[in-house]
Chains A and B, each alone.
Chain A
């Protein structure tokens, strides 16, 4: 990406944010009536829907059931029109399968699966519009959907990405910054206990800088947590008023 300045001398990024600033986050819980839990999140131009079914009896082969905890089953798919160039298939390609595994790993760490032995929890994530940070937005949406389904969790899971451009760590990368090919860290955090549920880094980064980048990602995750917590509280308030509490 020659000629494109990702961080100006004044410290602004391509979309006008400061280095540590997040994109605008808007979210809503309880989007669908038929699912057990559902949520929608917008982080800038990235738009993700998540739906949770369960905990329910094992579907399909019973041999997959775990005798001491629930099985977390995920599917990550991207709408064929979500990306700049049209995708051929919504799921089943290598990248989506990897994302599916990541989501599964993240939520196995967060959901109290031992409470539901021999059952299954389905988490389906659908990216409607992709503009960077797809994995992070998916995790945040799935957290809200899991809370909406009333499934007990250790803590919220908040995810954010961070990059490193011109000796500055940048939080919450957008598509242009991701495509530039610099180092990129995706991090999922359980904010209250400061535990990391997933950490992935692409490209090359000097060890001395790693600390700063992870620090920036953790800070961004905590900011996300504030927003998500507010969404949950508003939703619960709305629902209880409707119930006439």
Chain B
């Protein structure tokens, strides 16, 4: 994983700052960095989003393809995740170097989407046992500047919000053979309800306090962190401890409280940004990587 090497003096500087609720870039312990979100950046996907959180840069593309439902859930579609740790982020990821981190992120994403409430998978079913929509959610990591998980979850939520799946109808003739007809109007499409899609909040324990949205430098000072997935109502849907250090139960509960609080504000801010962008419609000037 991309990391930086810090000297002992630099670490002390960061840890002491955090003790006083003042971080190297001037933020408090519960503040996020300035986040940029833009949707609809790759035109040959069903939905896409780019998120820039400090130096962390994530691009997510969602492609809807037709497939067959899984045997155990014949009336639901499903999501497939893939994370590509591109060599753009760091030369360590060249060749197969990024696979380990990629798999770790993919597994986390599967876990936070595995509960039935995050997305209505029934709406992705076309006809039970035969056809359903499969949403391929492909995450591309372009630059690592700390706090990957949070940035990825924001980008995935934004991309799913942007996803438009064409409407199809199933026509059945007298002999019982089925035919799928695609709507002629390209604007006739299904949108997903992403209200219940959780976001990941990672809290890093540094010294005796914890911070949200740690930079690479701060991650180097932290021995352990707690990954929480929080919904817009502040419900926890998944929790995981990361890192080589250990945490005591008391601090875990404190971190959960902070996570819920920060998660709620994050959801509100994200929803507001996405709706604002949506309201601009086609008049919006697309910035992409040119701005």
Which residues of A approach B to under 8 Å, CB–CB? Answer: 26, 28, 31-35, 38, 40, 42, 45, 47, 49, 51, 53, 59, 73, 75, 77, 79-84, 86, 90, 92, 122, 124, 126, 128-131
A-B contact pairs, 22 of them (CB 8 A): A33-B55, A33-B143, A40-B290, A47-B289, A73-B94, A75-B94, A75-B95, A77-B84, A80-B61, A80-B84, A80-B136, A82-B42, A90-B86, A90-B140, A92-B96, A122-B94, A124-B94, A126-B88, A126-B140, A128-B42, A128-B59, A128-B140
Which of B55, B84, B94, B289 lies in contact with A79, CB distance below 8 A?
Answer: B84
Q: Which residue on B lies nearest to A81, using beta carbons?
A: B61
Known pairs A80-B84, A86-B138; list 19 more (Cβ under 8 Å).
Answer: A33-B143, A35-B88, A40-B290, A45-B44, A49-B289, A51-B87, A51-B88, A77-B87, A81-B44, A81-B45, A81-B138, A83-B44, A84-B44, A90-B84, A90-B140, A124-B86, A124-B94, A126-B88, A129-B43
A221 and B289 alpha carbons, distance in the complex (Å): 23
Please indicate the chain A residues that have their CB under 8 angstroms from the CB of B198 in the complex: none
A194 and B145 alpha carbons, distance in the complex (Å): 42
Which residues of B approach A to under 8 Å, CB–CB? Answer: 42-45, 48, 55, 57, 59, 61-63, 65, 82, 84, 86-91, 94-96, 136, 138, 140, 142-145, 288-290
Q: Which residue on A lies nearest to B80, using beta carbons?
A: A86
Contact flag A32-B290 (CB < 8 Å), given A81-B136, A83-B44, A86-B63: no
Which of B42, B88, B288, B289 lies in contact with A124, CB distance below 8 A?
Answer: B88
Contact A75 B289 (CB under 8 A): no
Please indicate the chain A residues that have their CB under 8 angstroms from the CB of B145 in the complex: 34
A90 and B89 alpha carbons, distance in the complex (Å): 15
Please indicate the chain A residues that have their CB under 8 angstroms from the CB of B136 in the complex: 80-81, 86
Contact A34 B94 (CB under 8 A): no
> Shortest 9 CB-CB distances between A and B: which pairs?
A81-B61, A40-B289, A124-B87, A80-B138, A51-B88, A90-B84, A81-B138, A81-B45, A86-B63
Which of B44, B59, B88 lies in contact with A32, CB distance below 8 A?
Answer: B88
A45 and B94 alpha carbons, distance in the complex (Å): 26
Q: Which residue on B lies nearest to A78, using beta carbons?
A: B84
Q: Which residue on A lies nearest to B48, using beta carbons?
A: A81
A90 and B136 alpha carbons, distance in the complex (Å): 14
Contact A32 B140 (CB under 8 A): no
A75 and B84 alpha carbons, distance in the complex (Å): 14
Minimum CB–CB distance from A92 to chain B (whole Å) comes to 8
Contact flag A42-B84 (CB < 8 Å), given A81-B138, A124-B94: no
Q: Which residue on A lies nearest to B86, using beta carbons?
A: A126
Minimum CB–CB distance from A176 to chain B (whole Å) comes to 13
Of B62, B63, B65, chain A has the most CB atoms within 10 Å of the CB of B63
Minimum CB–CB distance from B249 to chain A (whole Å) comes to 37
Minimum CB–CB distance from B286 to chain A (whole Å) comes to 10
Contact B94 A129 (CB under 8 A): no
Please indicate the chain B residues that have their CB under 8 angstroms from the CB of A130 in the complex: 44
Please indicate the chain B residues that have their CB under 8 angstroms from the CB of A40 in the complex: 288-290
Q: Which residue on B lies nearest to A39, using beta carbons?
A: B289
Contact B140 A79 (CB under 8 A): yes
Contact flag A32-B95 (CB < 8 Å), given A79-B59, A80-B82: no
Which of A32, A38, A59, A83 lies in contact with B91, CB distance below 8 A?
Answer: A59
Minimum CB–CB distance from A216 to chain B (whole Å) comes to 27
Contact A47 B88 (CB under 8 A): no
A128 and B143 alpha carbons, distance in the complex (Å): 14
Contact flag A34-B143 (CB < 8 Å), given A84-B44, A122-B94: yes
Which of B44, B95, B144, B289 lies in contact with A31, CB distance below 8 A?
Answer: B289
A28 and B287 alpha carbons, distance in the complex (Å): 12
Contact flag A86-B140 (CB < 8 Å), given A40-B289, A75-B94, A79-B84: no
A81 and B49 alpha carbons, distance in the complex (Å): 12
A206 and B174 alpha carbons, distance in the complex (Å): 55
Please indicate the chain B residues that have their CB under 8 angstroms from the CB of A26 in the complex: 290
Which of A28, A34, A59, A81 lies in contact with B42, CB distance below 8 A?
Answer: A81
Contact B289 A28 (CB under 8 A): yes
A32 and B143 alpha carbons, distance in the complex (Å): 7
A90 and B84 alpha carbons, distance in the complex (Å): 7
Contact B88 A49 (CB under 8 A): yes
Contact B55 A47 (CB under 8 A): no
Minimum CB–CB distance from B225 to chain A (whole Å) comes to 21
Q: Which residue on A lies nearest to B94, using beta carbons?
A: A75
Minimum CB–CB distance from A87 to chain B (whole Å) comes to 9
